[in-house]
């Protein structure tokens, strides 16, 4: 379903038009309930909004700062310590659990590159591993990205398509129920009785969630973080 088709469907459900229920009014509700549904979807498929982004490992650098919005949505970190190596999962630890000094010789003596760890301090990740060399795209940072907000309700692109390599589309299985949710809010505000389908919203949504929970996520889209010339993502000790 496209943005324009979603707009038409909402009007049909509400028995309105773009004058009695303007697109601007609808757009606010569409984006609000799109996020509400995205949260419900994430509960049954926690990895569904995962987005990987790549950055470079820098010679002898253990601390790397990322944008605050990425750090707040971080769900995982993978590292590869050689250009030809594979990514390995880097497990988090609490800073309070690491009691030794952050001296390089001490870290190297206690950690290796097969089972690296990291902790977060001052909005950055701090890597505990063997010696670090420069590796292009050596960092794979995994974070959550909810479906992008719709800019309008006139678009001709299917809403399920990812708008870019760093943003998500909204699954087509939930397009109709998104329109239904907007219709329910409109009718509640206007004191209009809900339809039978609208009164069955929660049951229908749960069926959709149950079906969606077992989906296949083999496809992976990787976004590239902004160039270091524009944003300072890391700093040397």
Which pLDDT tens digit goes with each residue over 115-136? 999 999 888 999 999 999 999 9
Are 26 and 195 in contact, with CB atoms under 8 Å apart? Answer: no
> Looking at 87, 114, 144, which one is the last position of a domain?
144
pTM for the full predicted model: 0.78
Q: What is the pLDDT of residue 215?
A: 57
The SS3 assignment for 209 reads helix
Are 180 and 202 in contact, with CB atoms under 8 Å apart? Answer: no
225 is a domain residue: no
223 is a domain residue: no
Whole-number Å distance between alpha carbons of 199 and 177: 12
Are 33 and 185 in contact, with CB atoms under 8 Å apart? Answer: yes
Average confidence score pLDDT of the chain? 90
Question: Helices 175-190 and 23-44, interaxial angle, to 10°?
Answer: 130
Instruction: State the alpha helices, DSSP H only, in 73-135.
Output: 104-110
Whole-number Å distance between alpha carbons of 87 and 83: 10
> Looking at 88, 123, 144, which one is the last position of a domain?
144
Q: What is the pLDDT of residue 216?
A: 52
Residues 97 and 170 in one domain: no
pLDDT beyond 80 at 88: yes
Residues 130 and 179 in one domain: no
* C-alpha closest to that of 90 among 58, 119, 69: 119
Residues 67 and 120 in one domain: yes
Residues 102 and 80 in one domain: yes
**Per-position b or e across 156-184, b if 16+ CB within 10 A of its CB:** eeebbebbeebebebbeebbbbbbbbbbb
Beta-sheet pairing, 117-121 with 63-65: unpaired
State the residue range of the domain holding 133.
50-144
| Total domains present in the chain | 2
pLDDT beyond 80 at 232: no
Q: Where residue 217 falls among pLDDT bands split at 50, 70, 90?
A: very low
> Looking at 126, 144, 162, which one is the last position of a domain?
144
């Amino acid at each position: 379903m496209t943005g324009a088709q979603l707009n038409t469907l909402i009007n049909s459900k509400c028995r309105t038009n773009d004058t009695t229920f303007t697109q601007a009014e609808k757009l606010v509700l569409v984006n609000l309930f799109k996020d509400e549904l995205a949260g419900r979807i994430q509960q049954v498929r926690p990895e569904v909004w995962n987005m990987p982004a790549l950055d470079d490992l820098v010679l002898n650098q253990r601390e790397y700062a990322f944008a605050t919005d990425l750090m707040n949505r971080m769900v995982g970190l993978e590292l590869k310590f050689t250009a030809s190596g594979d990514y390995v999962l880097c497990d988090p630890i609490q800073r309070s659990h690491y009691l030794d000094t952050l001296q390089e010789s001490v870290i190297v003596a206690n950690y290796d590159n097969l089972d690296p760890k990291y902790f977060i301090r001052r909005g950055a990740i701090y890597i505990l591993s063997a010696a670090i060399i420069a590796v292009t795209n050596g960092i794979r940072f995994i974070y959550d990205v909810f479906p992008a907000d719709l800019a309008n309700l006139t678009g001709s692109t299917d809403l399920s398509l990812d708008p870019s390599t760093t943003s998500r589309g909204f699954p087509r299985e939930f397009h109709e129920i998104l329109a239904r949710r907007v219709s329910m809010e409109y009718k509640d505000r206007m004191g209009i009785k809900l339809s039978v389908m609208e009164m069955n919203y929660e049951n229908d949504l749960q069926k959709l969630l149950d079906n969606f929970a077992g989906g296949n996520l083999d496809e992976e889209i990787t976004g590239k973080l902004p160039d270091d010339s524009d944003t300072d993502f890391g700093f040397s000790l």
